[in-house]
Amino acid sequence: MNRDAALAGAAVGVVLVALLASVAFPGVLADPTEDDPVRPGPVRISEVNIGADDADVRGGTVTLSVDTRIEHRGNPTENVTLLVRAVDAESGLVETTQTVRVGTLRDEAETSVTANVTVEREGGYHVETVLYQDDRRVDEDGKTVSGLEALTPAYAQTDVRFSEGDALPPLSFSVAEADAGNNRTTLELAASLTNSGDGRSEDLRVRFVLRQADSNIVAAQTATDVGAIRPGRTATTTTRVTVPRNYNYYVDAVLLKDGVVVDTARTAANLDPTKRISVNETEEDVELRVEDFEGGGSDGRGEYTESPAYGTETSTPGFGPVAALVALLASALLARRWTQ
């Protein structure tokens, strides 16, 4: 028999056997990847950013928008989940938790995942982000947020504030009328307001309260509406009050928008010719801060610093002056012996 014909017949036989086996036993020629699945690609947190929209700031709470950038490489990765939680910076208690199911990541790129967490508008929080794949923690990151009380609620947002400066003080007064017979003095109060925003101001009102300096008794109070102030402009609103003469007063002014306090100012009115008072106050601005978690080294542990020990100077037992003299003599004798 021809050798080539025999080989061709054997090849045909192998093909026929394979076809018969595939029909008789389905799954014999199944894709091997079904038993040996593809390893999912790595995922990690590359960046975390936290913000707060003005519309999400309320009187008692604020909603923080936590934007987490997740980096994916390699093969598709399924069942990716992001956990975001806000932990009170002082008590360490978890304030709120939000879980976002990311699903399957296929592209070799970064994916932005946003989670909204609502917290009390005071103090600070550690905002932690934890990345899971198939319920297994694979990465985590976070930032610290502080000074939330500095955020202005949406209903009280305005760019108008009392003016600051020596040439144009926020509050001033002048004597409009003096009635010696009735022991009364009428003061004209003026409040200077500046609009540092981009829009016209509306629905503003200034309330004045005069308190006698020694007794703290409210001697008079009044309020006046503020007209519209154009952007970048400064306007002055005035009103009059009558108080007993020959006393000194603290003048407090409160700027309100729709009944909400947005700014305050104070000055002193010295009507007593024999005694004067002044307003001395120290103000500290509280600003919103967002910081990364602080860590000591690459492993996340804090650095250990050994402090030098301090104490009184004492002699070490066994090493006093006598022992030093004996050691010196012994060294001399030994040197002499070696020279001989």
256 and 217 in a common domain: yes
Evaluate whether 47 touches 107 at the Cβ level (below 8 Å): no
Residues with Cβ within 8 Å of 77's Cβ and at least 6 positions away in sequence, in order, are 40, 41, 42, 43, 104, 105, 133
119 and 183 in a common domain: no
284 in any annotated domain: no
52 in any annotated domain: yes
Identify the domain boundary among 270, 291, 320.
Answer: 270
Find the angle CA(44)-CA(45)-CA(48) to the nearest 5 degrees: 175
Question: Distance between CA atoms of 318 and 340, rounded to whole angstroms?
Answer: 32
Can you tell me the mean pLDDT for 156-172? 86
168 and 257 in a common domain: yes
pLDDT at position 1, please? 52
Can you tell me the mean pLDDT for 219-234? 91
232 in any annotated domain: yes
Identify the domain boundary among 270, 302, 320.
Answer: 270
Domain count across the chain: 2
Model confidence pLDDT, tens digit, residues 97-119: 999 999 999 988 999 999 999 99
State how far the alpha carbon of 162 is from the alpha carbons of 30, 32, 158, 190, 279, in Å: 79, 76, 12, 11, 16
Q: How far apart are the first and last CA of the chain?
A: 110
Give the domain range for residue 129. Answer: 43-150
Q: What CATH number is given to the structural domain containing 197? A: 2.60.40.10
Q: Which residue has the higher pLDDT, 59 or 140?
A: 140
12 in any annotated domain: no
294 in any annotated domain: no
Q: Which residue has the higher pLDDT, 4 or 255?
A: 255
130 and 207 in a common domain: no
Can you tell me the mean pLDDT for 70-87? 94
Quick check: 140 pLDDT over 60?
yes
- The three-state secondary structure class of 259 is coil
Residue type, 242: T
Q: DSSP secondary structure string, 123-175?
A: S-EEEEEEEEETTEEEEEEEEEEE-GGGSPPGGG--SEEE---SSS-SEEEEE
pLDDT at position 239, please? 94
Q: What is the DSSP letter of 274?
A: T
Question: Distance between CA atoms of 69 and 60, rounded to whole angstroms?
Answer: 29
Model confidence pLDDT, tens digit, residues 10-67: 555 555 555 555 555 555 455 544 555 678 999 999 999 999 887 888 888 999 999 9
Quick check: 80 pLDDT over 70?
yes
302 in any annotated domain: no
Helices (DSSP H) in the chain: which residue ranges?
3-24, 321-339
Name the least confident of 253-257, 259-263, 306-310, 332-336.
Answer: 306-310
Can you tell me the mean pLDDT for 247-259? 91
173 and 129 in a common domain: no
Model confidence pLDDT, tens digit, residues 118-135: 999 988 999 999 999 998
260 in any annotated domain: yes
Strand pairing report for 77-88 and 125-133: antiparallel
pLDDT at position 202, please? 78
Residue 286 backbone dihedrals phi, psi, to 5 degrees: -110, 115
144 in any annotated domain: yes
175 and 259 in a common domain: yes
Identify the domain boundary among 270, 296, 328.
Answer: 270
143 and 239 in a common domain: no
221 and 264 in a common domain: yes
183 and 117 in a common domain: no
122 and 170 in a common domain: no
